[in-house]
Chains A and B, each alone.
Chain A
Amino acid sequence: MPKKVVSIIVFPGSNCDRDLAIAIQKHLNVKTEYIWHNEAKIKHHEMIFIPGGFSFGDYLRAGILATKSPAIKEVINFSKKGVPIIGICNGFQILTECKLLEGSLLVNKNQLFICKDIFLKIENKKSIFSKNIKKDILKFPIAHGQGNYYASKDSLKKLEDNEQVIFRYCSNKGSVKNKNNPNGSLNNIAGITNKKKNILGMMPHPERAISDKSTADGNIFFEGLKELL
């Protein structure tokens, strides 16, 4: 049987595309195809990824300039058809800027870029992305300057009520406190879905945690996506 194909959208300035492809191939028994941002057609849309990096230099607001690329129009079309879409880091920023996900990612509270390992609590396993994750706490690196999740009071309440929050920053034991919040995100939010729960955005980088000695939890995350394909 020919392998299924997962699409990864690449913008000028993306820099996690290669590592994402490696992680996907390692776990999902699929091929990956890079879609250059200027392409108006996405041939393979069983699943779409938007990788991390600095699309268009992250100028103006991280992610905004990328939302004007033709490929994003396609992403929006497919999102309506229920295609699973995952945006990581810059991908998350792009998804909020094109309004596929609620809220916005502001400059980190300490105004600095932050690169370190953090712990993530899996808040609920009711989404297609989280239901097969075989652990309750994951350790991933973060590396971003704008990861401070913000949403208005109303939308935040809706997000929580509708169980759209998937990941929260926590301690190694899973406690979600202010001191485990690296960037000032409201409610320690690190990853959310849309209302229909076919789109996931997250700041931490599972694709950077698949072979390193300090954390290999990315493998668990990608294994959990198997059923989707």
Chain B
Amino acid sequence: MSKISKEVIENHGISLAEFNMILKIIKREPNLLELGIFSVMWSEHCSYKSTKKWLKTLPTSGKRVICGPGENAGIVDIDDGDALVFKMESHNHPSFIEPYQGAATGVGGIMRDVFTMGARPIANLNSLRFGDPKHPKTKSLLTGVVKGIGDYGNCVGIPTIGGECFFHKCYNNNILVNAMCVGLVKKNKIFYSTAKGVGNPIIYVGSKTGRDGIHGATMASAEFDDKTQDNRPQVQVGDPFIEKLLLESCQEIMKQDAIIAIQDMGAAGLTSSSFEMASKGSCGVKLNLDKVPCREEKMSPYEIMLSETQERMLMIIKPNKKKLTLEVFKKWGLDAVEIGNLTDSGDMELFFNKKMVGKLPIKPLADMSPEYNRPAKKLKKNKLKKKYKDIPIHHALLKMISGPNHSSKKWIYEQYDRSVMGDTLMSSEQSDAAIVRIHDTNKAIAITCDCNPIFCNSDPKLGSAIGVAESWRNLIASGAEPIAITDNLNFGNPEKEHIMFQIKESIKGIKMACDYLKFPVVSGNVSLYNETKKKSIFPTPVIGGVGLINKTENIKGFKINLDDKIFIIGDSYGHLELSEYNRICGNNDGTPPPLNLKIEYKNGMFVKKFLKDYGDLVTGCHDISDGGLLLALAELCISNKKGMKIKLPKNTKKLKEWFFGEDQSRYLLVLNSTDDFKRIAKKNKVKISEVAIVENTDNFIVEDNFKIPIKKLIKYNNSWYKKFVDI
């Protein structure tokens, strides 16, 4: 074996201290294959070395939690023997390099994480961040990513029902593509990844292994430089057809009591999947790498172990079910092979053509993986209060609804099959959360993705807490009981003190809000080094929330009817700093609105209970988030193609604050009868005020101020994407 040079070690992203640790663990020099294995296992992506210490502080248990972080996805109980399996995952770097394939394989990866656990995926969502629309790459990135997400999910036949899309120049060279998947499983049919039983066969199934994305996992842990754009071998091509076959064949085998443990081959492919399974079960593993089905000629053990070819799974099978298992895979036309078996050695032993080519101890490698307490320091902000122009209210509204961030996302979501499987009740343009029915029942679940990077950039702790609160609020507004979240923490380079500060603060904020709202974290993902040429993205901790709707009659969306009255629930202070309004005026300074979790909880519980007990009185419900009250009202009108008349507040001197302030913990309730509502709100000491009435008009009318024809609102709202992608 070749001696390992300093350069080789460096190329594997392994620090000197880490290399010394390796020597200590195996008590000799590793060969290249072993070094490669260490490098991927200890990469940021697989080992979470910069964030592990902080992630451990997150609240992960609750009365509905069946499985928290640590498995392929989190699981929560939704009664009647049903459970939901869900997780979010990023594919940021690959999507920047090849948007179509990068995004597609991101969707494929997260679906495998979910169906590995025995669940059938029932909904996909995605949270997207692109650069300035004026940036020359933005258009092709947007079109490629959206098509990639759509084509993959559509082909597998899982509805893509929601998400978010946001443009900002901080993402010019580092776009974010976070995909979330939710699956349904019977509580007593969950599969885990803990390997057990000496001698049991290890079965490989799925696509043949190629040289794709070797070192993909370490790439995700390294900052971009200009050269990265020419990095060819990193690109993996997705095959949604094989994914569909994997899904169906695994579901079929899972009915047969054949599988002891199962795990998808995600980042770091065969290496991490086999290591993790063995390590969880305190087993040893023997693999015959020449048995692995290969797409290319002459693939080396190194390439086979590190390949990131998509659509592959690894499973430990009961020996007496081996034949049956292989037959099922054959029926589905998939390559399935026994590539090794479990041992009691505690080691991973790798053979190639009958020769041992690598041997590593499993437990120490996992247990002694690096964990850093990286230094963190707040960056001093030099406040530049620029002069900016104050835009009149109705101009501001039109500008907002016709701009990139608040235009109708129709161009995006029409490319996603939302109706397949027949259970989509609301996709995310019809309600604050997307809603899908549990098949053949009267139950449904609500799902939402949220993050306000503008807030997080100014104050990562508060901004992240607001993200959690907004997710919680969205679920309540749709008529659900919030259950739990998954998170996707997207940040820059953690080796920089101010970025590490953002990460720690953000996790603190998530913890604070989750604790208070009893909204545990059951799974998640971390994506670091989202940074190019020293420019980092804004901290973007995306929160994916899931809630339960007991009866589909309780679902609320953006509906309004003639003569309904619209009330605001919660206090309005008129916080304009960092608001969408200020931004379109050219003012980007300030702090996010304060978040009082006690009031958040109180208001939320009030709305939740009112929707449950007096649901008949409520036509629709909507939370107030960026864009403030006026945008929330305009969205209701656009969605219903109906007009309304909006009242002025008592203090007419602060109209902009009233209409565009982004104070937290507020909802809009659309009521067809108000007496009970007023009485109960008073009893609960919840602040309410009537803000609008749905009249027989084709206009969006602000009393004594202005009116805009609804047709015009809709036209403005629909124009941006069309123009942008069509130029």
Known interface pairs A12-B332, A13-B155; A143-B420 also in contact (CB < 8 Å): yes
A16 to B157, CA, bound (A): 8
Known interface pairs A54-B154, A57-B241; A16-B415 also in contact (CB < 8 Å): no
Contact with A along B410-429 (1 / 0, CB 8 A): 00011111111110110000
A112 to B155, CA, bound (A): 14
Nearest Cβ in chain A — how far from B695, in angstroms? Answer: 24
Taking CB atoms, residues of chain B closer than 8 Å to A58 are 155, 241
A147 within 8 A of B: no
Contact with B along A126-148 (1 / 0, CB 8 A): 00000000000000010101000
Return the contact of B422 from the options A53, A112, A210 (Cβ within 8 A).
A210
When C-beta atoms are compared, the residue in chain A nearest to B333 turns out to be: A12
B-binding segment of A80-88, A113-121, A154-162: A113-121
When C-beta atoms are compared, the residue in chain B nearest to A114 turns out to be: B414
Nearest Cβ in chain A — how far from B686, in angstroms? Answer: 30
Known interface pairs A15-B157, A59-B241; A115-B417 also in contact (CB < 8 Å): yes
A186 to B620, CA, bound (A): 41
A143 to B154, CA, bound (A): 9
When C-beta atoms are compared, the residue in chain B nearest to A143 turns out to be: B417
Return the contact of B419 from the options A22, A56, A57, A143 (Cβ within 8 A).
A143
A120 to B154, CA, bound (A): 23
Taking CB atoms, residues of chain B closer than 8 Å to A207 are 422
Taking CB atoms, residues of chain A closer than 8 Å to B419 are 115, 141, 143, 205, 208, 212
Pair A211/B422 contact, Cβ less than 8 Å: yes
A19 to B425, CA, bound (A): 15
Taking CB atoms, residues of chain A closer than 8 Å to B239 are 57
A173 within 8 A of B: no
When C-beta atoms are compared, the residue in chain B nearest to A115 turns out to be: B417
B245 within 8 A of A: yes
B557-576 contacts to A, CB under 8 A, are: none
Pair A12/B245 contact, Cβ less than 8 Å: yes
When C-beta atoms are compared, the residue in chain B nearest to A22 turns out to be: B422
Nearest Cβ in chain B — how far from A76, in angstroms? Answer: 23
A213 within 8 A of B: yes
Taking CB atoms, residues of chain B closer than 8 Å to A59 are 241
Pair A53/B157 contact, Cβ less than 8 Å: yes
A100 to B418, CA, bound (A): 30
Nearest Cβ in chain B — how far from A18, in angstroms? Answer: 8
Pair B420/A16 contact, Cβ less than 8 Å: yes
Taking CB atoms, residues of chain A closer than 8 Å to B338 are none
Taking CB atoms, residues of chain B closer than 8 Å to A13 are 155, 241, 244-245
Pair A54/B241 contact, Cβ less than 8 Å: yes
- Max count, chain B CB within 10 A of own CB: residue among A115, A143, A212: A115
Taking CB atoms, residues of chain B closer than 8 Å to A205 are 419
Nearest Cβ in chain A — how far from B21, in angstroms? Answer: 45
Nearest Cβ in chain B — how far from A170, in angstroms? Answer: 19
Give the contact-size bracket for chain B: 20 to 34
Nearest Cβ in chain A — how far from B314, in angstroms? Answer: 22
A19 to B332, CA, bound (A): 21
Known interface pairs A16-B420, A210-B422; A113-B415 also in contact (CB < 8 Å): yes
Nearest Cβ in chain B — how far from A117, in angstroms? Answer: 8
Pair A15/B244 contact, Cβ less than 8 Å: yes
A1-60 contacts to B, CB under 8 A, are: 12-13, 15-16, 18-19, 22, 53-54, 56-59
Nearest Cβ in chain B — how far from A188, in angstroms? Answer: 19
Nearest Cβ in chain B — how far from A127, in angstroms? Answer: 25
B346 within 8 A of A: no
When C-beta atoms are compared, the residue in chain B nearest to A17 turns out to be: B157
A211 to B421, CA, bound (A): 12
Pair A19/B421 contact, Cβ less than 8 Å: yes
A30 to B240, CA, bound (A): 33
Return the contact of B420 from the options A15, A22, A57, A212 (Cβ within 8 A).
A15
Taking CB atoms, residues of chain B closer than 8 Å to A208 are 419-420, 422
Pair A113/B417 contact, Cβ less than 8 Å: yes
- Max count, chain A CB within 10 A of own CB: residue among B155, B332, B333, B413: B155
Contact with A along B393-422 (1 / 0, CB 8 A): 000000000000000000001111111111
A178-207 contacts to B, CB under 8 A, are: 205, 207
Pair A212/B414 contact, Cβ less than 8 Å: no
Taking CB atoms, residues of chain B closer than 8 Å to A116 are 414
Taking CB atoms, residues of chain A closer than 8 Å to B416 are 113, 115
B623 within 8 A of A: no
B147 within 8 A of A: yes
Return the contact of A212 from the options B156, B240, B417, B425 (Cβ within 8 A).
B425
Nearest Cβ in chain B — how far from A132, in angstroms? Answer: 23
B150 within 8 A of A: yes
A53 to B420, CA, bound (A): 9
Contact with A along B150-174 (1 / 0, CB 8 A): 1100111100000000000000000
Known interface pairs A54-B157, A58-B155; A115-B241 also in contact (CB < 8 Å): no
Taking CB atoms, residues of chain A closer than 8 Å to B154 are 54, 113, 115, 143, 145
Taking CB atoms, residues of chain B closer than 8 Å to A112 are 147, 414-415
Pair B244/A12 contact, Cβ less than 8 Å: yes
Pair B244/A213 contact, Cβ less than 8 Å: no
A80 to B333, CA, bound (A): 31
Pair A56/B241 contact, Cβ less than 8 Å: yes
When C-beta atoms are compared, the residue in chain B nearest to A117 turns out to be: B419
A207-222 contacts to B, CB under 8 A, are: 207-208, 210-213
Nearest Cβ in chain B — how far from A125, in angstroms? Answer: 26
A145 to B416, CA, bound (A): 10
A53 to B247, CA, bound (A): 15
Taking CB atoms, residues of chain A closer than 8 Å to B248 are 12
- Max count, chain B CB within 10 A of own CB: residue among A112, A210, A212, A213: A112
Return the contact of A54 from the options B147, B244, B413, B425 (Cβ within 8 A).
B244
Taking CB atoms, residues of chain B closer than 8 Å to A145 are 151, 154
Contact with A along B48-83 (1 / 0, CB 8 A): 000000000000000000000000000000000000
Taking CB atoms, residues of chain B closer than 8 Å to A141 are 419
Taking CB atoms, residues of chain B closer than 8 Å to A113 are 147, 150-151, 154, 415-417
- Max count, chain B CB within 10 A of own CB: residue among A18, A22, A54: A54
When C-beta atoms are compared, the residue in chain B nearest to A23 turns out to be: B422
Taking CB atoms, residues of chain A closer than 8 Å to B332 are 12
Taking CB atoms, residues of chain B closer than 8 Å to A12 are 241, 244-245, 248, 332-333
- Max count, chain A CB within 10 A of own CB: residue among B147, B240, B241: B241
Pair A54/B155 contact, Cβ less than 8 Å: yes
Taking CB atoms, residues of chain B closer than 8 Å to A212 are 419, 422, 424-425
Pair A115/B415 contact, Cβ less than 8 Å: yes
A175 to B531, CA, bound (A): 53
Taking CB atoms, residues of chain A closer than 8 Å to B150 are 113
Taking CB atoms, residues of chain A closer than 8 Å to B333 are 12
Nearest Cβ in chain A — how far from B100, in angstroms? Answer: 13
B120-150 contacts to A, CB under 8 A, are: 147, 150
A200 to B417, CA, bound (A): 23
Taking CB atoms, residues of chain A closer than 8 Å to B147 are 112-113
Known interface pairs A12-B245, A115-B417; A57-B422 also in contact (CB < 8 Å): no
A58 to B150, CA, bound (A): 14
Nearest Cβ in chain A — how far from B249, in angstroms? Answer: 10
A58 to B240, CA, bound (A): 10
Nearest Cβ in chain A — how far from B431, in angstroms? Answer: 12
Residue numbers of B with Cβ under 8 A of A are 147, 150-151, 154-157, 239-241, 244-245, 248, 332-333, 413-422, 424-425
Known: A13-B244, A115-B154. 9 other contacts (CB 8 A): A12-B332, A16-B420, A19-B421, A22-B422, A57-B240, A145-B151, A208-B420, A208-B422, A211-B422
30 pairs, A vs B, C-beta closer than 8 Å = A12-B241, A12-B244, A12-B333, A13-B155, A13-B245, A19-B421, A22-B422, A53-B157, A54-B154, A56-B241, A57-B239, A57-B241, A112-B147, A112-B415, A113-B147, A113-B150, A113-B151, A113-B154, A115-B154, A115-B418, A115-B419, A116-B414, A143-B154, A143-B419, A143-B420, A145-B154, A207-B422, A208-B419, A212-B419, A212-B425
CB-based closest 7 A-B pairs: A15-B157, A57-B241, A141-B419, A143-B417, A54-B155, A19-B422, A208-B419
